[in-house]
Amino acid sequence: MTTALPTHARIVVIGGGIVGCSTAYHLARDHKAEVVLLEQGKLTSGSTWHAAGLVGQLRSSASITQVLKYSVDLYKRLKDETGLETGWKMTGCLRLATNEERWTEYRRLATTARSFGMEMHLVSPEEVARMWPLMDVSDLIGASWLPTDGQANPSDIAQSLAKGAKMHGARIFEGVHVSGFEMDKDRIRAVLTDQGRIECETVVNCGGQWARQIGAKAGISVPLQPVKHQYIITERINGLASDTPTVRDPDRRVYFKEEVGGLVMGGYEPDPQAWNTGLPGGDVPEPWEFQLFDDDFDHFEQHMTQAIARVPVLAEAGLKQMINGPESFTPDGNFILGRAPECANMFVGAGFNAFGIAAGGGAGWALAEWVIRGEAPLDLWVVDINRFSGLHRDRDWVRERTLEAYGKHYAIGYPHAEYESARPRIISPLFERLEQHRAVFGSKLGWERPNWFAPAGFEARDIPAMGRANWFGAVGAEHALVRERAGLFDQSSFAKYELRGKDAAAALEHVCANHVARGGGCLTYTQILNSRGGIECDLTVAQLAPDHFYVVTGTGSRTHDFAWINNHLPADADVTLEDVTEAWGTLSLMGPRARAVLSAVTDADVSNGAFPFGHMRQITVAGHRLRALRVTYVGELGWELHVPLEGTGDVFDALMEAGAQHGLGLAGYRAIESLRLEKGYRAWGSDITPNDSPFEAGLGWAVKLGRDTPFIGREAAAATAAAPLAKRLVCFTTRDPDVVLLGRETILRDGAPVGYLTSGGFGYTVGHPIGYGYLRNPGGVDDAWLGAGRYELVVANETVPADLHMRSLYDPKGERIRI
């Protein structure tokens, strides 16, 4: 390795595991960047060297599946470039099912695979026995078969990537400890090490289980928790072929892969063990090089018992080695990529939840693109570090939630499932009132939010199901309440910012795609675009004064949207962005009788003439001055009432009392979802993402191309608007009202796949399942092409007839399409 530590580099990558080596490789190969990689020990000496090396590709996100497919493509050809073996074998993977709900999950996954262009088959127990003769298949219903999955040698891949990085000009230094950073406000000026100072433009933190404490040295939060993960390697087993497929047996919580004629077997137990290092804050020792924990056969026995039941020959197999090492896991089971919100020039690639080998190649590519472009190359929201918040600085909370996520690694993926640990954490002032009304809460970024309200005599909890859930009827009643009378929603978890300064209007016009500086009292729905013209943020902006704006966005987007806006404000602008989420509670009053209810509690004129749609007024309710925003996400007359937090309870009580004579009732987030599907409102993160243009999503009317105002993404947006659309978001309903749509179902046009659903649910007013998805056609997707097709949806691997709709299924006058 190179020995002289440089004093300057454009990019410093910290960490010599598979992700750090992959990132350095792609920065050097694809971008000819000046890269220095620092490793405190030897390459792969953290957790890469002891990883099991299974490589799966299918995930619930199309973009993450694409990242994992990239890994496989890279591993296939890397040896030809570097001359170093990677141990890659495309053995395929069997996932076993022993009950009907798991089998339904696999039928849905088979549909997802088809939607994402992957090959996946559902096979019988007899076929499993043919492919894996040593397996007991007596309890199987069947299995899924992904022929392009496989396995690899983690250390060999990392070393091959490191060699490739050096071949393209990267410099790698082992035995260098990063002690801190020299900061200039929110930027790193230099990396400080035990062997000198390296001035740099960008730092990429790929520190694995050390990433959290590396980030802390620069003031950033990397919420991960090392967990002890064990597996065994057996001696040779007669009859075990070298091309034996890898196996995941989630109902028994174990996995298998062939290795040198024997088996690797491990699992994910429901009672995982966090690595309690005993150091302050749970820090990982530095160094911890090629080290393991003592074998823990007592804890591993639960896996051994299940594995022997599945592969009886294991009872007689010799044990070559037990591996008990730390792996970094995250609170939601997804890895961490992207630019840290607290530091303008630190990027992170860490927390890979024991599939770092599967993700390593693609994650390194994506992270390198992100570093060079300054934005993600595709929709990577589910792994973006900005999905976290200040909550995730709490080590105890992160540990508790992460252990639950680990324990659920092989759990059935029930729709709408909620985490249960570390709750409640953040509550609105209405929490106890809503509990008294039998609210069943969900959790979003730590906030407790009412998903639905249980009627009297009905059990107030979610009962997981792959079909219609126990809350289906109760949510239908809430839906009807909002359509027919009025519903009140607690949406206090909305993220809220204030932008102030003499340049505030110009700065927002630069950032936002719509015209937002329209005068005091105006409320504007807008997207914020990336350089590709994709939708990075979806929010509303109220202008309170010429130099004062109030921005409201989704709960989960809080960190992301704040960071995006803040990072893209003009450098010389006189403007300040402040997060005021906890200063304001939010009550959404929606429904045809909403005006009557609001009129009963305020002296303000809330008539349509005095208070039109798309405006904001300050009104007084129950003695509190609040911001009333006339806007709707459910397709009915309504207001978001933003109340000083301390007054939220008083305003709630006043509305409930006055609303009793108008039939006002409470409704939750699941009703919001069904209501917005009927109206056709888009959901950011599913229907609209950084991969999608407003014009493709049917939101071109919200882009100010008609104004002579530059804004981020204008050139890309104009190009999309000027050309025939190659994809377009449309609405479908199924004729069978009992079909369950969740999203990712394949769309067929005249029998051929042309896209997949981005979201799905049930429309109680129209009485049918509803789904939205993008149809794709290189020759253009216009009304004529749409109308000429015959459509079906593939749902849980079965084809069902569907109808396409080119307009909203519902309008507030009560009109609806007859289906």
Calpha distance 534→553 (Å, rounded): 17
Residue 182 β-bridge partners: 190
State the amino acid at position 612 in one-letter form.
P
Distance CA 306, CA 247 (A): 13
* Side chain identity, residue 34: E
Single out the residue of 78, 39, 88, 44 nearest to residue 168, CA to CA: 78
Distance CA 342, CA 348 (A): 12
Evaluate whether 311 touches 256 at the Cβ level (below 8 Å). Answer: yes
**Range list of β-strands (E), 260-314:** 262-267, 273-274
Amino acid (1-letter code) at residue 678: E
pLDDT in tens, 174-198: 999 999 999 999 999 999 999 999 9
pLDDT of residue 4 exceeding 90: no
Quote the CA–CA distance of 254 and 269 in Å, as a whole number. Answer: 9
Beta-strand relationship, 246-249 and 93-97:
parallel
How does pLDDT run across 124-138, given as a tens digit for each residue? 999 999 999 999 999
Residue 281: per-residue pLDDT? 82
Looking at the chain, the whole-number percentage of residues with pLDDT higher than 90 is 95
Question: Cα–Cα distances in Å, from 606 out to 489, 591, 595, 610?
Answer: 19, 14, 7, 6
Token pair listed for 391: 């909550």
Judge whether residue 470 has pLDDT over 80. Answer: yes
Q: Is 818's pLDDT higher than 60?
A: no
DSSP 670-737: HHHHHHHHHHT---BTTTB-TT--TTTTT-GGGS-TTSS---TTHHHHHHHHHS--SEEEEEEEESST
Taking only the tens place, the pLDDT of each residue in 607-656 is 999 999 999 999 999 999 999 999 999 999 999 999 999 999 999 999 99
Confidence of residue 1 (pLDDT cuts 50, 70, 90): very low
Q: How far apart are CA 256 and CA 605, in angstroms?
A: 69
Is the pLDDT assigned to residue 349 strictly greater than 50?
yes
Q: Please compute, for residue 578, the number of CA atoms within 13 A of its CA located in the half-sphere on the CB side.
A: 12
Mean pLDDT over the full length of the chain? 96
How far, in whole angstroms, is CA 545 from its chain's centroid? 35
How far, in Å, CA of 720 to CA of 496, rounded? 31
CA–CA distance, 197 with 193 (Å, rounded to integer): 6
- Taken in order of first residue, the domains within the chain and their CATH numbers are 8-86+152-225+332-387 (3.50.50.60), 93-147+226-326 (3.30.9.10), 724-819 (2.40.30.110)
Q: How far apart are CA 233 and CA 299, in angstroms?
A: 17
Residue 564's contacts (CB-CB under 8 Å, 6 or more residues apart) are 386, 528, 536, 537
CA-to-CA distance for 817 and 275, rounded, in angstroms? 57
Q: Position 210: which residue type?
A: W
Per DSSP, the chain holds a count of helices (H) and strands (E) of 18, 38
Structure tokens at 725: 């659309």
The position carrying tokens 């091959």 is 160
**338 pairs with which residues across the strands?**
348
CA distance 123 to 251: 17
DSSP β-ladder status, 196-205 and 346-350: parallel
Angstrom distance (rounded) from CA 23 to CA 17 = 10
Helix, strand or coil for residue 616? strand
CB 191 within 8 A of CB 55: no
Distance from C-alpha of 525 to C-alpha of 527, rounded to nearest angstrom: 7
Q: What is the pTM of this model?
A: 0.95
- Cβ-contact 525, 697 below 8 angstroms: no
Q: For the chain, state the CA radius of gyration.
A: 27
Sheet of 548-553, strand order: 523-529, 535-545, 548-553, 495-500, 576-579
Q: Which two tokens stand for residue 137?
A: 């298949």
**Can you tell me the mean pLDDT for 139-158?**
95
Q: Provide the greatest CA pair distance for the chain.
A: 85
Per residue in 192-219, pLDDT (tens digit) is 999 999 999 999 999 999 999 999 999 9
Smallest CA-to-CA distance from 540 within 512, 503, 582, 520 is with: 512
Whole-number Å distance between alpha carbons of 598 and 486: 11
The C-alpha torsion from 539 through 542 and 548 to 553, rounded to 10°, is -20
Report how far apart, in Å, the C-alpha atoms of 115 and of each of 532, 693, 739 are.
24, 20, 18
Q: Is residue 33 over pLDDT 90? A: yes
Find all residues with CB under 8 Å of 424, minimum gap 6, and list them: 431, 441, 443, 448
List, for residues 242-277, the tens digit of each pLDDT value.
999 999 999 999 999 999 999 999 999 999 999 988
Cβ–Cβ < 8 Å for 531, 373: yes
Q: How far apart are CA 138 and CA 121, in angstroms?
A: 20
Distance from CA of residue 805 to its chain's centroid?
Answer: 28
Q: How far apart are CA 423 and CA 271, in angstroms?
A: 18
What would the two tokens of residue 146 be? 């992904």
What are the angstrom distances between the C-alpha of 733 and each of 673, 762, 817?
15, 9, 11
480-533: pLDDT as tens digits:
999 999 999 999 999 999 999 999 999 999 999 999 999 999 999 999 999 999
Task: Identify the CA nearest to 740 among candidates 790, 793, 803.
Answer: 793
pLDDT digits (tens, 9 = 90+) for 599-617: 999 999 999 999 999 999 9
- pLDDT (average), residues 676-697: 97
The answer to whether the Cα torsion of 137, 139, 144, 149 is positive or negative is negative
CA–CA distance from 87 to each of 94, 150, 152, 230 (Å)? 20, 10, 5, 21
**Taking Cα atoms as reference points, which of 292, 294, 309, 316 lies closest to residue 254?**
309
Q: Give me the pLDDT at residue 812, please.
A: 66
- 47-61, 406-420, 470-484, 731-745: the lowest-pLDDT one: 47-61
Beta pairing partners, 499: 549, 577
Q: Which residues contact 139 (CB under 8 A, 6 or more apart)?
A: 98
Instruction: State residue 811's pLDDT score.
Output: 76
DSSP secondary structure code for residue 333 in this structure: S
> What average pLDDT does the segment 113-134 reach?
96
So what's the pLDDT on residue 280?
A: 87
Q: Specify the 3-state DSSP secondary structure of 529.
A: strand
